[in-house]
Each structure stands twice: as C-alpha cells, then as structure tokens.
Structure 1
Amino acid sequence: MATVMNRVDEHGTNLAAANDADGYRPTADEPFMSLRQQAYFRQKLQQWKDAILRESQETLSQLQVDSLREADLTDRASSETDWSIELRTRDRQRKLVSKIEAAIRRIDDGEYGYCEVTGEPISLARLEARPIATMTVEAQERHERNEKISRED
C-alpha cells in the first residue's frame, strides 16, 4: 500500500522530503488535509512515535544494566521508587503510541483532521499542538463536561 510519505505532488516532488527540506508548516491558505498536509502530519506523528520507542528502548537497556542491589535499604527504596515512576511513564507512552498509530491509520483512511463527533475540520493549530486529536476544541469541551456530569451522578 502506498503511503502519503511516498506520494508526490503534481510536479513530481516527494512530499515528505519537501516538507522536511523547506520547513513547511500547514496554513489555512491551502486546501485542508491536502496531500502535503497529510505528509506533514504523518511525518510529525512518525517522528513522535520513533522518539517514544527510542526512549522506551533506552529505559529497557538501563534496567538491564543497572542493578537494584544497593546495600542501604533507603537507597534501594529510592531506586525502586524511581524505576516505578519510570515504568508508569513508559506505560502511559505505550498507550500514546497506540493513539499515534490510530492517527496514522486515520491519515491512510482519509479521516485525519476531521472531528469524530461533528465531522468538522479540526483546526490546524490544534493538530499542530496535539496531532492525535480526534475532536475539535468545542466537541472535546462538551465531551469533558458530559464526562464530568456523569462522574458526579
């Protein structure tokens, strides 16, 4: 299956390479979720995913190298607490990787950048700040209000 990363524009320019080389940023002046915007967000998501996986591998390597055999009980407890926090962070990042992969699938399916509730385009500023966003700010706020009301019941 061809991906946006391998697509070229009408002039034969590789979109991913062009995005990277010229410092491209999506703007409201161009068609929403054009091939170039899709390539930009795919690249952004893939780089984010790669960074998370790299950090995760570094944590695993560090766990294998470091030993928790400190002689002092206080030092050992402190190390165990540090590793516990690190592993919880990695678990949250594992869940984030799933969301990144889902966003990449939405690009493949042509659904990326559109609110899953209203179908309206999600603002480029929101996608820039949170590329895994699935709702517009307004829809997200309504969702969170409804969630809060449900918890209070």
Structure 2
Amino acid sequence: YKPSRSESYMNDEQIEHFRGLLLQWRGELVDEVSRTVTHMKDEASNFPDPADRATQEEEFSLELRTRDRERKLIKKIDTTLENLQNDDYGYCDACGVEIGVQRLEVRPTATLCIDCKTLSEIKERQELG
C-alpha cells in the first residue's frame, strides 16, 4: 500500500487494506493448522522399528512447536483486528506516535514504532548478556 502525501494516517482505505491483509494471513494460518491435524492423523502409524517411531515422533514434535507458534500468531492477529475495530491500530503502545504504513506493511501486527522497538531490543540484549 502506497499512501499519497495528502492522505491522512489510518484513514478508512488504509484500515480496510490492513484488515484484509490480516484476515488473509489469519486464514492461511488456520488452514495450515487444519492441514497439520489431518496430516498427523493420517501419518500416525505404529512403527515396529524404534528408530522409525522416534523419527516420526521427532517430526510430530517439530510440527507441533511450529503450530504452537502459529497459534500464538493467530491470537496476536486477533488482538490486532480488535485494535483496528477500536481505532487503536497503527499507533505505538509505548509512546503513542504513528508506527508508519511502511512498517505495518512489513509487520502488520507491530505494536511499537521502530524507535521504541529498537530501544526494547537493546534493553533486552543488555539484560541477557
């Protein structure tokens, strides 16, 4: 989405653009979760060989971790859609400034402006190490 210079921030057109983007992303994630459940049911075999069984369990474990991350992302998308509904979308949770259309294009669930996010990452690195 390319806003024009005279366009106001988070106008109806931008809100609809991001709503569509988020709903499409959410739909893709939900489809992937459904495919995983079907795949795991279809592939759940009782292998007599312990090595084969261990390989399958490891694959399932990796797939479940991936789906758990996606489930958390779906929750974040749902929260973002609520923010869109309540006119709270596109503004930094920490300082209140505009996050910016370009940043939201790259990361539609962003809740911090680039400055606050950078500061947050610096603090996190200092605390860890």
Normalising by structure 2, we get a TM-score of 0.93
Which has the higher relative contact order, 1 or 2, with Cα contacts under 8 A spaced 6 or more apart?
Answer: 2
Identity among equivalent pairs (%): 34
CA shift, 1:28, in A, is 4.7
CA shift, 1:68, in A, is 3.0
| 2:92 is the alignment partner of 1:115 | yes
Match of 1:87 among 41, 64, 67: 64
CA shift, 1:90, in A, is 0.3
- Consecutive unaligned residues of structure 2, counting only runs of 5 or more, are none
Number of matched residues? 128
Query: CA offsets per residue over residues 48-74 of structure 1, 9 Å max, x none?
Result: 111101100111111112223123221
Give secondary structure in 2 for the equivalent of 1:103. Answer: helix
Quote the residue 1:27 is aligned against: 3
Quote the residue 1:98 is aligned against: 75
CA shift, 1:147, in A, is 2.0
Query: CA offsets per residue over residues 111-139 of structure 1, 9 Å max, x none?
Result: 10111111111121110010000011111
Give secondary structure in 2 for the equivalent of 1:97. Answer: helix
AA partner of residue 136 (structure 1): C
Match of 1:131 among 91, 105, 108: 108
Quote the residue 2:126 is aligned against: 149
CA contact (8 A) 1:117 1:135 kept: yes
Normalising by structure 1, we get a TM-score of 0.79
Quote the residue 1:74 is aligned against: 51
Structure 1 runs, 4 residues or longer, greater than 3 Å off:
none
Relative to structure 1, is the Cα distance of residues 136 and 28 closer, same or farther in structure 2, using a 3 angstrom cutoff? farther
Partners of 1:26 and 1:107 lie apart in 2 by 19
Quote the residue 1:42 is aligned against: 19
Residue range with higher mean Cα deviation, 61-70 or 138-147: 61-70
Relative to structure 1, is the Cα distance of residues 124 and 40 closer, same or farther in structure 2, using a 3 angstrom cutoff? same
Give secondary structure in 1 for the equivalent of 2:108. Answer: coil
Aligned-pair RMSD on alpha carbons?
Answer: 1.2
